[in-house]
Structure 1
Amino acid sequence: MQAEIGLIGLGTMGANLALNIAEKGHDIAVFNRTTAKTGTFFETAGDLREKILPCTTIEEFVQAIRPPRPIILMIMAGDPVDEQIDILRPLLSREDIIIDAGNANFRDTIRRTLTLEGTGLQFIGMGVSGGEVGARHGPSIMVGGAEASYKRVEPVLLDIAAQYEGDPCCAWLGENGAGHFVKTIHNGIEYADMQMIAEIYGIMRDGLGMSAKQMAPVFAKWNQGRLDSYLVDITARVLDTEDAETGQPIVDIILDRAGQKGTGRWSAIESQQIGVPATAIEAAVAARSLSALKAEREAAEQAYGRTSPSVERSDAFLRELELALLAGKIAAYAQGFAVMSGASQDYRWNLPLPEIARIWRAGCIIRSQFLTTIATAYDGASAETNLLMVPAFVEMMQETQGALRKVVARAATAGLPVPALSSALSYFDMYRQGRGTANLIQGQRDFFGAHSFERIDKPGAHHGPWGITQL
């Protein structure tokens, strides 16, 4: 037999995605540069082996797929993708499709699409979210590329995607890099969401003196309300888990140094490139970078002293923490969707924002109950509308912004770092301020550089009566 689809790269994500495809009834050819890994994968596939064609050479792999061939690359982003494309090109035929399903930079996806134009080969950049469990049982899938190419692989992708109330969490989002860009912003929102949860945890641990076991039921309770989300759910589970070796809460023996693979940083960079602020995402990226400075932070603690629990614990304050987290979460999502709206205009993608919210409702890491509210909100609003101006979110922010303000103020007074929450609050306050302070900045710029400024009482560019000034 010949396979319906192929997959290269049998790491954790690739292996689980291949099993997902096979389980949904599609014959799949698989190849890995390390032949032993291919053999191990096949031998451990159980009953699904009858749907899998393991291949030991790239030539055998290509021939094992029925033309026109769709081939998924689930390999390390960057140069390895270009190298694999170069290896495949002389072996493929017209109308074959190369699908990059890794965490690629969307600019690389645009470049690769342009490189393959005129060759007869098609290219798809596909964002996949959900981690190894999502890959195995149903991820959220964000596709960019020619719509005709997507339509050819759509039956397989719809089958393997996560389902939310019967709707597959998979969609074509636009040309060339659209899918990978949306995945990048997804990860940026994920960074902000995780950082804000960690900041609330920090207030509980260092400000209220709560133990992990005491915090776990609080997060579990929050997960039953409007904070219902995958990240809040797993936070409760992590806090409630004990280390098998020491019997301590496992979170207490995990080193406080977080890594990053680039997508969060890219989202912050791209927001700056298109001039759409994403301050909560930027703060979360910076916080991860600061977390890496473990030795420096320990030295600074010796120099400045350690924060002691100094916030009074009460049910009322825990309620404020819950509302503050909700307000911060809304601001982070508003920023992420605003960045996607800006990029959609710049790159002429016409990103379907309601559809993006819908395909994030299951399978992906930032899935949460209010994504349905976001999808509904954008169904009745322009894509340029900031979520903070949508009536449902105006109401929520009016209810929660006071709590965010109190939590940030108490944390600052106690010396507890809340960079993402405070950035979310500052973004909200600047966004809702009809007359800001940039008029002074414009005056300064004109003073030292004659950059000119606009006036409130007449049109055109103007200069102040500064005269010649010695610096």
Structure 2
Amino acid sequence: MAHVGLIGIGVMGASFAQNLAEEGHSVSMLDRSIEKMQAVADAGKTLKGDLIICKDAEALIKSLPTPRTVLVLVPSGAPLDSVIEMVKPLLDKGDLIADLGNSYYKETERRTAELENLGLYFLGMGISGGAEGARHGPSIMAGGSRESWARVEGALKDAAAKFEGTPCCDWFGPGGSGHFIKMLHNGIEYADMQQIAESYGIMRDGLGMSAGDIADVYKSWMNGPLNSYLIEIAGEVAAATDPKTGGAMLDIILDKAGQKGTGRWSVVESLHLGQPNSLIAAAVEARNLSAQKDSRLEMETIFGASPTALGNSLGDRVDAINSLEQAMIAAKVCAYIQGFEILNAASNEFEWNLDLAAIARVWRAGCIIRSVFLDEISDVYDNGGRSNLALSPVFGQRLKDHIPALQQVTAASVAHGLHVPAMFAALSFHNMSRTGQSTANMIQGLRDYFGAHTFERLDDLGTAVNGPWHD
């Protein structure tokens, strides 16, 4: 079995070290805290592989068989570069460093080039699933050279989540491709969570439902197309009781959402690629606004509270919940359409030759956005489907069936002051995507009027002309 080094024994690193050891692999550990490493080693005494405590980088490197494999699970940016600078002089040509953090893919490209120039290998690997996934099986997305991937493929597939026996772990291409895919995974995760938050707001503020009743709705949705990890844990979060007050835990949580940057990166990169990304952008903006708690409270005193009850605008509660479920299905489809179109554009732009079906397969278990949709998405691409999922029979039909509900729910929510930016973005995206004759002709006319940027005539396509504005 493989013997690897692992630097960074925080929550994720500790969990992943124990995962590898449980699969029979030996792991040499290095962290600034001896106590953390000792706790991990003590907890892993019954595991099949050894968990070895190393006092410093030199001890770690000496403990590894050649060619060496060093996994790194520390924060991206300067902390990661610091670790690389620490171990680089101790390594020999042919040794491998693998970054398992949430690094920006362009930084991964830089590190790959720098280390390969020294004769070292570098892998950029996104792992998803949180601490629970790291311990019992994450989803793993790797990018780098085929040679470096071959070095660690066996150990990582052992540790990865399994979907019907297939490891949710794969190599996707050179350089930063693995971290780009993880970035988009996190962006879709942002959109998913924002849609769930909006459905919660509609039920809480629009329908006057308690957290417990909302939990029951999420649990019922697990029996249909919305079956997913995030819906499952939304039910658990809504059902939880605060041990201090005895009330709903959800009602005690401050409404300020954090973020670590991957969602924002997804939006920026999609703009560079010329691809729509309105759902993730709406989710990032919503988190930004949530952080402005003091400003929101001041605005509320001036303009009044926004959310008002929906009344019977969506029918009785049963009808309203049914419409909301359908709206969520439509919005979720739109998020995946945008996400996979961005991945396809990146594949073409950077010549990565990404396997979209393989990406969907890797996300089917272990990761945060795992859902029944992903098995269907992999089937679409395996059977030659185009990158635009809306043009596939299964997802095209889903949109036809559920867009009317998204229209109804979004219109009612906006009319009653409920904030549904992700749902609104999904509906606007679909409406514009299905419109053969858009309003961009007005934009082209305006651009030509003030800047002589030219446009094409419908009766003379391919020829750039100016309008008669200044004759």
TM-score clears 0.5 = yes
Distance across 2 between alignment mates of 1:83 and 1:102: 14
Q: Determine if the alignment matches structure 1 residue 361 to structure 2 residue 368.
A: no
Counterpart residue type for residue 110 of structure 2: R
Distance across 2 between alignment mates of 1:386 and 1:311: 37
Counterpart residue type for residue 400 of structure 2: Q
Q: Retained in 2: the 8 A contact 1:311–1:410?
A: no
Cα shift at 1:116: 1.2
Distance across 2 between alignment mates of 1:7 and 1:198: 36
> Equivalent residues in 2 for 1:234-313 (5 A)?
234-306=233-305, 307-312=307-312, 313=316
Cα shift at 1:49: 8.4
Distance across 1 between alignment mates of 2:198 and 2:135: 31
Q: 1:205-224: per-residue Cα shift (whole Å, max 9, x none)? A: 01111010111111100111
Distance across 2 between alignment mates of 1:417 and 1:369: 27
Partner in structure 1 of residue 424 of structure 2: 422
Cα shift at 1:46: 3.3
Q: Determine if the alignment matches structure 1 residue 317 to structure 2 residue 320.
A: yes
Q: Retained in 2: the 8 A contact 1:3–1:66?
A: no
Distance across 2 between alignment mates of 1:311 and 1:177: 50
Q: 1:319-359: per-residue Cα shift (whole Å, max 9, x none)? A: 00000001000000110100000000111101110000011
CA separation of 1:61 and 1:298: change in aligned 2, threshold 3 A: same
Distance across 2 between alignment mates of 1:399 and 1:50: 51
5+ residue gaps in structure 1? Answer: none
Counterpart residue type for residue 7 of structure 2: I
Q: Determine if the alignment matches structure 1 residue 464 to structure 2 residue 467.
A: yes
Q: Determine if the alignment matches structure 1 residue 161 to structure 2 residue 160.
A: yes
Cα shift at 1:203: 0.5
Partner in structure 1 of residue 405 of structure 2: 403
Distance across 2 between alignment mates of 1:395 and 1:308: 33
Distance across 2 between alignment mates of 1:49 and 1:64: 18
Q: Retained in 1: the 8 A contact 2:72–2:100?
A: yes
Distance across 1 between alignment mates of 2:342 and 2:311: 36
Partner in structure 2 of residue 102 of structure 1: 101
Q: TM-score, normalised by structure 2?
A: 0.97
CA separation of 1:3 and 1:374: change in aligned 2, threshold 3 A: closer
Partner in structure 1 of residue 91 of structure 2: 92
Cα shift at 1:42: 2.0
Distance across 1 between alignment mates of 2:340 and 2:2: 38
Q: Secondary structure at the match of 2:464?
A: coil
Distance across 2 between alignment mates of 1:357 and 1:25: 28
Cα shift at 1:274: 0.6
Partner in structure 2 of residue 340 of structure 1: 343
Counterpart residue type for residue 311 of structure 2: V
Counterpart residue type for residue 55 of structure 1: C
Q: Secondary structure at the match of 1:103?
A: coil
Q: Determine if the alignment matches structure 1 residue 226 to structure 2 residue 229.
A: no
Distance across 1 between alignment mates of 2:183 and 2:430: 23
432, 439, 442: which one pairs with 2:441? Answer: 439
381, 391, 409: which one pairs with 1:378? Answer: 381
Q: Retained in 1: the 8 A contact 2:410–2:420?
A: yes
Partner in structure 2 of residue 39 of structure 1: 38
Q: Retained in 1: the 8 A contact 2:187–2:266?
A: yes
5+ residue gaps in structure 2? Answer: none
Partner in structure 1 of residue 74 of structure 2: 75
Distance across 1 between alignment mates of 2:121 and 2:60: 18
Q: Determine if the alignment matches structure 1 residue 350 to structure 2 residue 349.
A: no
CA separation of 1:55 and 1:462: change in aligned 2, threshold 3 A: same
Q: Retained in 1: the 8 A contact 2:24–2:48?
A: no
Cα shift at 1:108: 0.4
Q: 1:247-293: per-residue Cα shift (whole Å, max 9, x none)? A: 11000000000000001111111111111111001100100000000
Q: How many residue pairs align between the two structures?
A: 466
Q: 1:414-445: per-residue Cα shift (whole Å, max 9, x none)? A: 00000000001000000000010000000000
Q: 1:131-170: per-residue Cα shift (whole Å, max 9, x none)? A: 0000000000000000111011111011000000010000
Q: Retained in 2: the 8 A contact 1:3–1:64?
A: no
Counterpart residue type for residue 431 of structure 1: S
Counterpart residue type for residue 342 of structure 1: A
Q: Retained in 1: the 8 A contact 2:2–2:155?
A: no
Q: 1:191-237: per-residue Cα shift (whole Å, max 9, x none)? A: 00000010011010011110101111111001111110000000111
Counterpart residue type for residue 187 of structure 1: N
Q: TM-score, normalised by structure 1?
A: 0.97
Distance across 2 between alignment mates of 1:361 and 1:397: 22
Distance across 1 between alignment mates of 2:341 and 2:79: 32
State the identity %.
48
> Equivalent residues in 2 for 1:44-59 (5 A)?
44-48=43-47, 51-59=50-58
Counterpart residue type for residue 370 of structure 2: R
Q: Retained in 2: the 8 A contact 1:258–1:292?
A: yes
> Equivalent residues in 2 for 1:3-22 (5 A)?
4-22=3-21
Distance across 1 between alignment mates of 2:392 and 2:70: 41
Counterpart residue type for residue 421 of structure 1: M
Q: Secondary structure at the match of 2:123?
A: strand
Q: Secondary structure at the match of 1:397?
A: helix
Q: Retained in 1: the 8 A contact 2:124–2:175?
A: yes
Q: Retained in 2: the 8 A contact 1:139–1:363?
A: yes
Q: Secondary structure at the match of 2:142?
A: strand
Distance across 2 between alignment mates of 1:157 and 1:257: 36
